């Protein structure tokens, strides 16, 4: 059969490039946040991430979603989920490069920044599999509250290897940890949990309990253990629930069904039941929320990371397409209006990346620097609210840049678009995080000054100074604070992003961001930057190389 025509004017696929080294904002932030010593390894991961093989793994893992097997062929309850081989290749690479919890083991300046950069780079290949990667990272923070448990579990959780087999932890060189926190009657209101924990016995790891109840969302149910919340007589308490017991038998973790989700389809998310399930207590009885606070901050940081990564991949695809596609006599990227759109989404992407890496740097320095501790706590809530809100908007606009080509599954844009809302939902929706910002400001009023200290280096810019003064007045006004929470947090986020870009980005980037996001020279949709914005320079900075 002969061809009916010769295919022309179709951009080549964006592959065979380095996802890390082609991202100027990320490369500069890595050096700025004291993690340049890890650059060679991140470059290697970036090379893999941009390869045709890794891109194919991402497509395969989504086209062949996980399958639940509650029983074996003889009728025995097994409660297992099977994954496509590409899922395992993705997991092997993520853990092998330390994109999970390795930063806790490699205690050195910039370890969490380097880990954030790896997570950012590798999640652009496929976002679903980084859910267990993120939960494993976060779980270490909770387990350290119980030193005996951490001593047994932290070495395999932080190991740079991947072992998907279900075995007792003593027989595993590496492990993964999930979370089982929310229940159907409460959701984010975890204090409404009804799972009951009954004391069993004391042992070498601490107090053991039997848990009975349900969990509405348990992502990655094939993990080796789960951090869970349940009620003791003292109140809500944190537990570690192993998948396999020390004697090799299976703990009672009953998988009821897998969620049929909008996106994140490569990752299994289950409804589970505990039925006198063995667990060991983490932290004080009745202090479960306090025990998991640091863990939640870690996963919220990864929500920011995941949204920023989705934006970056979407922008890279859009700019690449526009660079090669010809319309009306010239390439799309040379049309002023398309330049405006591409520049606008590139501004959102770079601002998100820059704030993310600032917060990752705070995670490194917080243990020994009070200012950084305040920045980490407040900034993570601010960034979780705003960056995750911007993700779907940016991805949708990037998809439109490809026209009909962006709406078909052969491009990565539909998958990015389906994925984009998840980070705004996970670990507290927008309202939960906006109210958390108000809670931090009330409980730690010194965090207000820490925030304005972050803005101070940019206040020589008159528009920044004016916006900072207005925001300080708004934060002092207690009237209708809850009703105004979203606008207050939005203003904090954009002002902080503007200040960071003034300090660290080229003038073309910072000038356009300040003019649009701070001074209001902007419409209600993307692609409405003022005419004097240096759009071509902004787009050139965002272009993926290769």
| Domains along the sequence of the chain with CATH | 24-158 (no CATH), 176-287 (2.40.110.20), 290-444+522-542 (1.20.140.10)
Query: Is residue 177 scored above 70 in pLDDT?
Result: yes
The pLDDT, as a whole number, for residue 107 is: 79
Contact residues for 231 (Cβ-Cβ < 8 A; gap 6+): 193, 194, 195, 196, 197, 237
Q: At what angle do helices 336-365 and 288-324 cross, to 10 degrees?
A: 150
Q: Given this model, what pLDDT does residue 5 score?
A: 81
Cβ–Cβ < 8 Å for 67, 81 = yes
Task: Give the CA distances from residue 496 to residues 154, 266, 465, 518, 541, in Å, rounded to whole numbers and listed in that order.
Answer: 35, 34, 12, 10, 21
Q: Locate tokens 């965002």: which residue? A: 542
- Under the banding of pLDDT at 50, 70 and 90, the label for residue 4 is confident
Average pLDDT over residues 149-166: 97
In the predicted model, what is the mean pLDDT of residues 1-14?
Answer: 84
Residue pair 79/250 in contact by the 8 Å Cβ criterion: yes
Give me the pLDDT at residue 106, please.
Answer: 87
The whole-angstrom separation of Cα 232 and Cα 149 is 19
Instruction: Say how far apart CA 174 and CA 195 lie, in whole Å.
Output: 29
What distance in Å separates the CA atoms of residue 46 and residue 40, rounded to the nearest whole number?
Answer: 10
Q: What is the DSSP string of 295-334?
A: HHHHHHHHHHHHHHHHHHHHHHHHHHHHHH-EETTEEGGG
Mean pLDDT to the nearest integer, 85-99:
98
Instruction: Identify the weakest region by mean pLDDT among 29-38, 78-87, 157-166, 379-388.
Output: 29-38
- Per-residue pLDDT tens digits for 192-221: 999 999 999 999 999 999 999 999 999 999
**Orientation of helix 111-123 relative to helix 39-49, angle to 10°:** 10
pLDDT digits 0-9 by tens, 451-505: 999 999 999 999 999 999 999 999 999 899 999 999 999 999 999 999 999 999 9
Q: What is the mean pLDDT of the chain?
A: 96
Q: Residue 129 and residue 122: Cα distance in Å, rounded?
A: 10
The 3 state secondary structure assigned to 100-117 is CCHHHHCCCCCHHHHHHH
Indicate whether 2 pLDDT > 80: no
Q: Confidence band (pLDDT; 50, 70, 90) for 6?
A: confident
pLDDT band at 309 (very low <50, low <70, confident <90, very high): very high
Instruction: Determine the 3-state secondary structure of 3 from DSSP.
Output: coil
Rounded to an integer, what distance in angstroms lies between the CA atom of residue 286 and that of residue 71?
36
DSSP state of 55: H
Band (1; pLDDT cuts 50, 70, 90): low
CA separation for the pair 9, 450 (Å, rounded): 52
Please say if the pLDDT value at position 281 is more than 90.
yes
Query: Are 133 and 318 contacting, i.e. CB atoms less than 8 angstroms apart?
Result: no
pLDDT of residue 36: 86
497 vs 85, 178, 411, CA distance in Å? 40, 32, 30
Of 259, 157, 90, 188, which Cα lies nearest the Cα of 427? 188
pLDDT at 118 over 60: yes
DSSP 405-442: GGGSTTSSHHHHHHHTTHHHHTTS-HHHHHHHHHHHHH
pLDDT tens for 417-462 read 999 999 999 999 999 999 999 999 999 999 999 999 999 999 999 9
């Amino acid at each position: 059969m002969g061809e009916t025509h010769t295919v022309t004017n179709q951009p080549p696929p964006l592959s065979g490039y380095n996802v890390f080294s082609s991202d100027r904002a990320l490369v500069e932030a890595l050096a700025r946040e004291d993690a340049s010593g890890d650059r060679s390894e991140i470059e290697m991961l970036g090379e893999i991430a941009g390869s045709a093989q890794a891109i194919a793994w991402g497509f395969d893992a989504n086209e062949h979603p996980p399958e639940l097997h509650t029983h074996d062929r003889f009728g025995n309850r097994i409660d297992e989920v099977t994954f496509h081989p590409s899922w395992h290749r993705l997991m092997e690479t993520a853990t092998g490069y330390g994109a999970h919890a390795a930063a806790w083991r490699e205690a050195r300046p910039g370890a969490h920044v380097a880990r954030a950069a790896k997570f950012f780079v590798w999640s652009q290949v496929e976002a679903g599999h980084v859910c267990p990667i993120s939960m494993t990272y976060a779980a270490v923070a909770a387990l350290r509250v119980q030193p005996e448990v951490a001593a047994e579990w932290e070495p395999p959780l932080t190991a740079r290897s991947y072992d998907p087999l279900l075995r007792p932890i003593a027989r595993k060189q590496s492990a993964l940890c999930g979370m089982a926190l929310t229940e159907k009657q409460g959701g984010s209101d975890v204090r409404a949990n009804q799972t009951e924990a009954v004391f069993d016995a004391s042992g070498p790891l601490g107090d053991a309990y039997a848990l009975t109840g349900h969990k509405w969302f348990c992502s990655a149910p094939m993990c080796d253990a789960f951090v869970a919340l349940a009620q003791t007589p003292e109140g809500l308490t944190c537990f570690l629930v192993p998948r396999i017991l020390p004697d090799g038998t299976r703990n009672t973790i009953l998988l009821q069904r897998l969620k049929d989700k909008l996106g994140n389809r490569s990752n299994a998310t289950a409804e589970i039941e505990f039925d006198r399930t063995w667990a060991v207590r983490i932290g004080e009885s009745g202090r479960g929320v306090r025990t998991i606070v640091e863990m939640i901050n870690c996963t919220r940081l990864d929500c920011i990371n995941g949204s920023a990564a989705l934006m970056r991949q979407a922008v890279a695809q859009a700019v690449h397409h526009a660079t090669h596609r010809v319309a009306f006599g010239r390439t799309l990227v040379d049309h002023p209006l398309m330049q405006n759109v591409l520049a606008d989404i590139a501004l959102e992407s770079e601002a998100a990346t820059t704030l993310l890496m600032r917060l990752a740097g705070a995670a490194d320095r917080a243990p020994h620097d009070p200012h950084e501790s305040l920045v980490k706590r407040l900034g993570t809530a601010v960034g979780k609210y705003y960056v995750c809100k911007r993700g779907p908007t940016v991805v949708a606009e990037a998809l439109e840049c490809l026209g009909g080509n962006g709406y078909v599954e052969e491009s990565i844009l539909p998958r990015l678009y389906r994925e984009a809302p998840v980070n705004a939902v996970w670990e507290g929706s927008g309202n939960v995080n906006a109210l958390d910002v108000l809670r931090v400001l009330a409980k730690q009023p010194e965090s207000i000054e820490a925030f304005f200290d972050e803005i101070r280096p940019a206040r020589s810019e008159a528009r920044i100074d004016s916006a900072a003064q207005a925001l300080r007045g708004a934060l002092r006004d207690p009237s209708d604070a809850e009703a105004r929470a979203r606008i207050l947090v939005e203003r904090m986020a954009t002002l902080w992003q503007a200040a960071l870009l003034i300090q660290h980005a080229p003038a073309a980037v910072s000038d356009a961001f300040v003019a649009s996001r701070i001074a209001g020279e902007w419409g209600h949709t993307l692609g409405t930057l003022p005419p004097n914005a240096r759009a071509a320079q902004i787009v050139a900075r965002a272009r993926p190389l290769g």
